[in-house]
């Protein structure tokens, strides 16, 4: 039996000196120093330096000089101590004095460099994803993802959760996001749908008595893709029976603490803070507030009224944030912030500022309307000190909160108000059960139609649906929604009432969710759960914004995999077998 290698390229140390070894890997780079040729041999474990000495073996050195980037080679040699050590890498004290090597496969010159920072553009790297995946940063990401998966399973399995696979070929339930569908050949005219989440199945598993379920599972949504959305994505999907909100929150706070401990050696000693949805919107303008820094909202409408400043007088809300130590912001900087806020994505009308000068005076963009005394009241309300900058937006409350949320996040980023490796989790609780579509007047489920109202709010179902709070909760970390869940309805009558409130006819409810309503009549236990966005969680723990580089083979923004050319045309035979005609 041949053996390709005795060690990997991250493994050899000073202790291995004089050992005979075999290594395999890719040629990262070659350096020719007169009589010596050095080659960095790379694999996912690290880099080991190969040395070829012309005086020892002229032919071998000549052969080595012909090796190019990304060729795959198999090497035999002896571990030697390096004369000039590189203490930045684990193998930096040794090198291999090569005695023999074989080219296992040659490589064309890659279309971009396989380095930490590459010269390849996005599109090129997607077309050659198999080469991009060779780069160390991507390898680190996928290894991190692997570890988080392993640790998640270890933790949940250790507290009696069972991983149970739910089906991928299910029934289409077209409310909410669009389903991807799969035509059935055996039952022509019928379609399966790919699951947007295993929601109803995990609820059935609770009815079946499985008690503590989880699954790391692919989900599918046929949405128009925004940046950093994927048509297929992965969830850590969980459900428990005989629990209340508090049980679910504490159980999964435990999971998140475990993951941060195991992966990043971060200890969260205290319980994660909690905030109600209403408070989160009020204080941060977001249901996933980034609480690593302050700059909370101040509502100063009452302080601004009656000074003939029409914009504020007409506004439903006037919201101010205090930027510490930013009174020296230049006019240019404030103008550029204003332009940024006016872009259609944000849609603010303008930005008012008040500089709290070091000498105790104020300089504002509304000096014409508000005197120093006025501005000092604002400053005092916002707890602004000399040297701080107050930024003010106004208008309709909901829009202004959203705009101010964007501004607050941008400034925090610009001023580096947080460290890269700092994590601030917060549970957002007491979400509204329903959202009113302002155009149609219809109600939509804020989480999904299976979410339980708070018992004390059930009375509002027929009178004031918008007032009902749900037993629903989200976990946000650093302003990123990492997970969300709820206690579910487990009573057929209540579920039917909620369906009615959401505009389902009795027939629609029965045809789409009859199996679940039916199951509720056979001893359904109280239950609830949560789902975490696995791609997002990995990106967060990897300190990156984009999820794409935590997915081995992602789709681009048009939902395409340009490397394999998917989606693509079917041949006629396939369409005939399915009985499908595609409209021109």
Q: Token digits for 42? A: 């790379």
Query: Nearer Cβ to a second copy, position 360 or 514?
Result: 514
Give the closest residue to 266 by CA, choosing from 534, 541, 481. Answer: 541
Footprint of a second copy on 237-276 (CB under 8 A):
241-244, 246-247
What is the smallest separation between the CB atom of 308 and a second copy, expressed in angstroms?
52
What x/- string results for residues 49 through 78 when contact with a second copy is judged by CB under 8 A?
Answer: ---------------------xxx-x----
Interacting stretch for a second copy, rule CB under 8 A, among 180-188, 359-367, 379-387, 396-404?
A: 180-188
Contact residue for a second copy among 57, 76, 222, 481 (CB under 8 A): 222
> Is 190 a binder of a second copy (CB under 8 A)?
yes
> Is 578 a binder of a second copy (CB under 8 A)?
yes
Q: How far apart are CA 245 and CA 204, in angstroms?
A: 19
> Is 218 a binder of a second copy (CB under 8 A)?
yes
Footprint of a second copy on 476-515 (CB under 8 A):
490-491, 511, 514-515
- Give every CB contact of residue 518 below 8 A, 6+ residues apart in sequence: none
Could you give the residue ranges of the DSSP H alpha helices within 18-85?
58-64
Classify 209 as helix, strand or coil.
coil
Distances (CA, A) of 159 to 28, 162, 258, 323: 45, 9, 12, 45
> Is 159 a binder of a second copy (CB under 8 A)?
no
Q: Token digits for 48? A: 């080991």
Contact residue for a second copy among 231, 272, 417, 423 (CB under 8 A): 231
Beta bridge partners of 483: 475, 532
> Is 210 a binder of a second copy (CB under 8 A)?
yes
What is the smallest separation between the CB atom of 55 and a second copy, expressed in angstroms?
30
Distances (CA, A) of 460 to 360, 434, 465: 51, 11, 5
Interacting stretch for a second copy, rule CB under 8 A, among 51-59, 123-131, 255-263, 287-295?
A: 123-131
Query: Nearer Cβ to a second copy, position 98 or 243?
Result: 243
Contact residue for a second copy among 76, 99, 228, 561 (CB under 8 A): 561
> Is 220 a binder of a second copy (CB under 8 A)?
yes
What is the smallest separation between the CB atom of 280 and a second copy, expressed in angstroms?
22
Contact residue for a second copy among 170, 266, 311, 346 (CB under 8 A): 170
Interacting stretch for a second copy, rule CB under 8 A, among 33-41, 332-340, 459-467, 518-526?
A: 518-526
Beta bridge partners of 80: 95
Classify 528 as helix, strand or coil.
strand
Question: Largest Cα–Cα distance in the chain?
Answer: 93
Contact residue for a second copy among 57, 80, 124, 180 (CB under 8 A): 180
Q: Are 503 and 445 in contact (CB under 8 A)?
A: no
Query: Nearer Cβ to a second copy, position 44 or 274?
Result: 44
Footprint of a second copy on 520-559 (CB under 8 A):
520-526, 551-553, 555, 558-559
Contact residue for a second copy among 14, 17, 162, 398 (CB under 8 A): 162
> Is 580 a binder of a second copy (CB under 8 A)?
yes
| 3-state helix/strand/coil string of 29-53 | EEEEECCEEEEEEEECCEEEEEEEE
Alpha carbon 418 to its chain's center: 18
What is the smallest separation between the CB atom of 202 and a second copy, expressed in angstroms?
10
Query: Nearer Cβ to a second copy, position 82 or 575?
Result: 575
Q: Are 246 and 403 in contact (CB under 8 A)?
A: no
Q: Are 118 and 110 in contact (CB under 8 A)?
A: no
> Is 193 a binder of a second copy (CB under 8 A)?
yes
Query: Nearer Cβ to a second copy, position 270 or 373?
Result: 270
- The secondary structure of residue 179, as a DSSP letter, is P
Distances (CA, A) of 466 to 277, 402, 454: 14, 20, 13
Query: Nearer Cβ to a second copy, position 44 or 301?
Result: 44
Footprint of a second copy on 316-355 (CB under 8 A):
none
Contact residue for a second copy among 17, 143, 177, 398 (CB under 8 A): 143
Could you give the residue ranges of the DSSP H alpha helices within 428-480?
460-463
Catalogue the long-range contacts made by 241-244 (C-beta closer than 8 Å, 24 or more residues apart): 241/206, 241/209, 241/210, 241/211, 241/212, 241/525, 241/526, 241/527, 242/211, 242/525, 242/526, 242/527, 243/487, 243/526, 243/527, 243/528, 244/471, 244/487, 244/526, 244/528
Query: Nearer Cβ to a second copy, position 205 or 392?
Result: 205
> Is 24 a binder of a second copy (CB under 8 A)?
yes
- Give every CB contact of residue 460 below 8 A, 6+ residues apart in sequence: 453, 467, 468
Contact residue for a second copy among 283, 342, 444, 560 (CB under 8 A): 560
Q: How far apart are CA 78 and CA 362, in angstroms?
A: 74
Q: Are 423 and 394 in contact (CB under 8 A)?
A: no
What is the smallest separation between the CB atom of 468 and a second copy, expressed in angstroms?
20
> Is 116 a binder of a second copy (CB under 8 A)?
no
What is the smallest separation between the CB atom of 194 and a second copy, expressed in angstroms?
7
> Is 7 a binder of a second copy (CB under 8 A)?
no
Give the closest residue to 13 by CA, choosing from 76, 99, 90. Answer: 90
> Is 565 a binder of a second copy (CB under 8 A)?
yes
Q: How far apart are CA 69 and CA 153, in angstroms?
A: 39
Query: Nearer Cβ to a second copy, position 275 or 551?
Result: 551
Give the closest residue to 11 by CA, choosing from 98, 100, 89. Answer: 89
Query: Nearer Cβ to a second copy, position 18 or 572?
Result: 572
Q: How far apart are CA 409 and CA 427, in angstroms?
A: 19
Contact residue for a second copy among 12, 30, 42, 318 (CB under 8 A): 42
> Is 517 a binder of a second copy (CB under 8 A)?
no
> Is 205 a binder of a second copy (CB under 8 A)?
yes
> Is 18 a binder of a second copy (CB under 8 A)?
no
> Is 381 a binder of a second copy (CB under 8 A)?
no
Length of the chain: 584
Contact residue for a second copy among 20, 58, 65, 157 (CB under 8 A): 157
Size of the site for a second copy (CB under 8 A): 128
> Is 26 a binder of a second copy (CB under 8 A)?
yes
């Amino acid at each position: 039996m041949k053996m390709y290698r005795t060690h990997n390229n991250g493994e050899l140390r000073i202790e291995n000196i004089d050992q005979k070894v075999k290594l395999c890997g890719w040629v990262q780079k070659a350096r020719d120093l007169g009589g010596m040729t050095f080659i960095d041999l790379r694999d996912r474990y690290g880099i080991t330096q190969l040395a070829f000495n012309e005086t020892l073996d002229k032919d071998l050195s000549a052969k080595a000089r012909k090796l190019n980037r990304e060729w795959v080679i198999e090497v035999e040699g002896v571990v030697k101590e390096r004369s000039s050590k590189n203490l930045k890498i684990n193998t930096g004290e040794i090198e291999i004095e090569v005695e023999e090597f074989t080219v296992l496969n040659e490589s064309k010159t890659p279309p971009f460099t396989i380095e930490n920072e590459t010269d390849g553009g996005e599109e090129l790297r997607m077309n050659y994803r198999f080469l991009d995946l060779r780069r160390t940063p991507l390898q680190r990401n996928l290894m991190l993802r692997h570890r988080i998966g392993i640790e998640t399973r270890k933790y949940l399995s250790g507290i009696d959760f069972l991983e149970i696979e739910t089906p991928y070929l299910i029934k289409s339930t077209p409310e909410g996001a669009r389903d991807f569908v799969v035509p059935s050949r055996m039952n022509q005219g019928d379609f399966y749908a790919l699951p947007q989440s295993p929601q109803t199945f995990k609820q059935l598993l609770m009815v079946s008595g499985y008690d503590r379920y989880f699954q790391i599972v692919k989900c599918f949504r046929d949405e128009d893709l925004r940046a950093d959305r994927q048509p297929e994505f992965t969830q850590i999907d969980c459900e428990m029976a005989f629990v209340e909100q508090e049980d679910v929150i504490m159980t999964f706070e435990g999971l998140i603490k475990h993951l941060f401990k195991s992966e990043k050696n971060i200890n969260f000693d205290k319980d994660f803070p909690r905030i109600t949805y209403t408070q989160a919107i009020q204080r941060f303008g977001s249901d996933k507030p980034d609480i690593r820094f302050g700059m909370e909202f101040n509502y100063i409408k009452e302080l601004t009224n009656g000074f003939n400043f029409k914009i504020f007088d007409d506004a439903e809300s006037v919201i101010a944030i205090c930027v510490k130590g930013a009174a020296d912001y230049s006019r240019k900087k404030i103008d550029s912030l204003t332009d940024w806020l006016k872009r259609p994505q944000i849609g603010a009308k303008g930005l008012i500022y008040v500089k709290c000068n070091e000498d105790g005076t104020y300089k504002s963009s509304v000096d014409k309307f508000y005197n120093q005394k006025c501005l000092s009241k604002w400053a005092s309300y916002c707890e602004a000190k000399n040297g701080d900058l107050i930024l003010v937006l106004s208008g309709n409350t909901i829009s202004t909160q959203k705009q101010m949320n964007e501004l607050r996040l941008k400034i925090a980023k610009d001023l580096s108000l947080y460290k890269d490796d700092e994590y601030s989790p917060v549970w957002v609780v007491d979400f509204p059960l329903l959202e009113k579509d302002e155009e149609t007047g219809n109600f939509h489920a804020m989480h999904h139609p299976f979410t339980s109202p708070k018992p004390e709010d059930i009375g509002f179902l027929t009178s004031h649906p918008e007032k009902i709070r749900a037993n629903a909760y989200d976990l946000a970390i650093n302003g990123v929604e990492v997970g969300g869940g709820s206690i579910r309805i487990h009573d057929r009558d209540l579920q039917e009432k909620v369906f009615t409130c959401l505009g389902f006819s009795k027939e629609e409810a029965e045809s789409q969710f009859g199996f679940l309503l039916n199951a509720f009549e056979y001893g359904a236990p109280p239950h609830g759960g949560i789902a975490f966005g696995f791609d997002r969680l990995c990106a967060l723990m990897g300190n990156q914004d984009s999820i794409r580089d935590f997915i081995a083979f992602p789709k681009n923004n048009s939902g395409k995999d340009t490397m394999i050319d998917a989606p693509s045309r079917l041949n006629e035979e396939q369409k005939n077998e399915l009985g499908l005609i595609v409209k021109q």
